[in-house]
Amino acid sequence: MSLPTKKIIITSSVVLASFVIGVIASPYILTSTPQLSKEIRKNFNYQFINPLLECESSTISQDPNLTSLKQSIQFIIDQEVNNKKISFGSVYYRDLNNGPWIGINANEYFSPASLIKVPVMMAYFKAAENDSSILTKKIINNKTFDYSQQNITPTQTLEIDKEYTIEDLIERMIIYSDNAAYELLLDNIDNMKIYKVYQDLDVDISKAQNDPNGDIITVKDYASFFRILFNASYLDQGMSEKALTLLSKSQYYKGLVAGVPENITIAHKFGERQFLPSHEKQLHDCGIIYLPNKPYLLCIMSRADDFDQAAGFIKQVSKVVYDEVSKNANPQ
């Protein structure tokens, strides 16, 4: 969803200039077999994370066995561009069992839009690891919010002069992508705690120094938030599980979700923005698809003239990835 310019998280070039964030951190891979990982999650009541991991070699990158999948995705991108359904598409896929990945236009920069709400949630949960009372702090919503600014409007919205806990606002920000909840959360946290999430994960947002509301992040860099939540390598296991549980309740169904069977769980976040006066629209959807025994990460970012056509593009990519990965998934 489009976020008000004055409330974009990267609001101060002076603050951003105080540090320069490097390239994406060395990825992680699982050290266990999928079957063992699944049993560990069950024993500790974890449904969404796999905390068994180690730092992988920096030489791990694209798997040649994924060539066919990459070609299929590229075909969809080319077809949709030729048909003027989208003007540009970027895709990042990663096998969360053992780490091989593929990227197409993965270094192209986009506006994160509402995807930015995930690191905001992570900043709060990181703080709550040391002081759990943060989440029960109560805030009164004493200002009205113009929801017409959001192209994809939340199904539930905040009430004026009503009291909400921080935890409730986080849930509304993630599940319903409520910008009003997002603004209240920004008003009640030191922005440096949010910047630190980017810094700690080595996610490069240095472009925000010159244009905080412009194209500042790549699909590959953004995907690292979900990978690290899955591995519980930044937040502790309880908070990582909590974060992905909320993301699994996201109320957006036109993108990644539309491309997989209804019984498949997805923990994801979408973002959308319209630029004036060019009227360019950007629609993104990023998340973890919990295919049994074969969970994978899929991030898709797009530019288009129409949100529905962009959503259709994301759905197509999601479906072709699911169909290909599920063919090779181990039986239960």
pLDDT tens-digit readout, 45-97: 789 999 864 444 444 455 677 999 999 999 999 999 999 999 999 999 999 98
pTM of the model: 0.85
Which one has a higher pLDDT value, 168 or 51?
168
- CB contact at 8 A, 225 and 112: no
pLDDT for the residue 58: 40
Helix (H) or strand (E) holding 15: helix 13-16
> How confident is the model over 275-301, as pLDDT tens digits?
988 889 999 999 999 999 999 999 999
pLDDT for the residue 92: 98
Whether 17 has a pLDDT exceeding 90, the answer reads: no
Residue 22, judged by CB atoms within 10 A of its CB (0-12, 13-18, 19+), counts as exposed
Cα–Cα nearest to 255, from 237, 238, 272: 272
The mean pLDDT of the chain is 85
Average pLDDT score over residue span 198-217? 92
- CB contact at 8 A, 228 and 234: yes
Whether 155 has a pLDDT exceeding 60, the answer reads: yes
Helix (H) or strand (E) holding 283: strand 281-289
**2: pLDDT confidence band, cut at 50, 70 and 90?**
low
pLDDT for the residue 32: 30
**What gap in Å lies between CA 61 and CA 232, rounded to an integer?**
21
Helix (H) or strand (E) holding 42: helix 34-43
Cα–Cα nearest to 324, from 69, 34, 67: 69
Which one has a higher pLDDT value, 103 or 55?
103
**What gap in Å lies between CA 119 and CA 242, rounded to an integer?**
14
Q: Which residues of 247-260 are buried (b: 16+ CB within 10 A; e: fewer)?
A: bbebebebbbbbbb
**What gap in Å lies between CA 113 and CA 158, rounded to an integer?**
20
Q: What is the CA radius of gyration of the chain?
A: 19
pLDDT for the residue 59: 41
Question: What beta strand segments (E) does 154-265 contain?
Answer: 163-165, 217-218
CATH architecture of 5-327: 3-Layer(aba) Sandwich (3.40)
Q: In the chain, what percentage of residues exceed pLDDT 90? A: 72
> How confident is the model over 240-254, as pLDDT tens digits?
999 999 999 999 999
